[in-house]
Amino acid sequence: MGMDRNVPGKPAVVLLSGGLDSMVTAAIAQERGFQLYALTINYGQRHVIELDSARQIANHLGVERHVELSLDLSIFGGSALTDDIEVPTGGVTEGIPVTYVPARNLVFLSLTLAWAETVGAEDIFIGVNALDYSGYPDCRPEFIASFTETARLGTKLGVEGAGLAGKGLKVHAPLQHMTKADIARESSRLGLDTGMSWSCYNPTENGRACGSCDSCRLRRKGFNDAAIEDRIDYANTAD
């Protein structure tokens, strides 16, 4: 028999990039009583420094297991994060930016699902956000809902587990409808050291967050709006 989602120690796989959102999401999952299995993808990203953050966060939370999977999407290119394309630093604009990595969350969630099925986890956590974000299509609630249904239809656990405690597979996106200020407040409420996380797409040569890319700007604004100190050293703090 499957366990209710409230039962302490129930396994869940969390996609842990090393960013603020994934750190807060993992901590929320742990707070809800889940036993965490953390998956980090080394996809040839420009900001590979985030992998160190993922390791720190996983160690801090004491996850059951932390897997780092190599999947070099730089072979495909097509994004400022995986190709020789300049990262925009002029401010967040309308439309899908060049930092969008084609189908990234679809690919990552599929891998997360594969591991979840292996460890018998009916719950997956991802730190996507659709309010203060860069406009990526694979962060929208419609995508998460659609993937959840695909996961149920396309896996043994989804088919056979559908009747277990009336639950079945579920993709949790607890930050989905939060602003960056809300997420900053959650990090504070959970007692997290924000300096462990990394959000910058374009780190400087000496390892500082640039402060000017979309991700830095959204993060800085969130902490400023929440009036909470962010323990990140930015090279630029001008708007």
Per-residue pLDDT of the chain (239 residues; tens, 9 = 90+): 334 455 568 999 999 999 999 999 999 999 999 999 999 999 877 677 889 999 999 999 999 999 999 988 888 877 767 756 777 676 666 677 767 777 788 889 999 999 999 999 999 999 998 876 667 787 889 999 999 999 888 888 777 765 444 467 899 999 999 999 999 999 999 999 999 999 998 889 888 999 999 889 999 999 999 999 999 999 988 76
Distance between CA 86 and CA 99 in Å, rounded?
Answer: 9
**Neighbour count for residue 181 (Cβ, 10 Å):** 18
Residues 135, 45: Cα–Cα separation, whole Å: 19
Distance CA(10)–CA(25), nearest Å, equals: 16
Residue 4 lies in a domain: no
Q: Which domain holds residue 74?
A: 11-226
Phi and psi at 129, nearest 5°, equal -145, 135
Whether 126 is in a domain gets the answer: yes
CA 9 to chain centre: 22
Give all strands (DSSP E) within the chain, no chain letters: 11-15, 35-42, 65-70, 123-125, 170-172
Q: Which amino acid is at 26?
A: A
In DSSP terms, 41 is beta-bridged to 69
- Domain assignment of residue 237, yes or no: no
pTM, 2 dp: 0.88
Please give the tally of structural domains in the chain: 1
Q: At 123, which helix (H) or strand (E)?
A: strand 123-125
As a whole number of angstroms, the distance between CA 209 and CA 231 comes to 11
Residue 30 lies in a domain: yes
> Does residue 38 contact residue 30 with C-beta atoms inside 8 Å?
no
Q: Is residue 239 part of a domain?
A: no
Q: What is the CATH number of the domain that holds 113?
A: 3.40.50.620
In a domain, 15, yes or no: yes
Q: Is residue 234 part of a domain?
A: no
Residue 236 within any structural domain of the chain: no
DSSP helix/strand/coil, 69: strand
Q: Which of 38, 28, 40, 39 is nearest to 62 (CA)?
A: 38
- 16's tokens: 């842990």
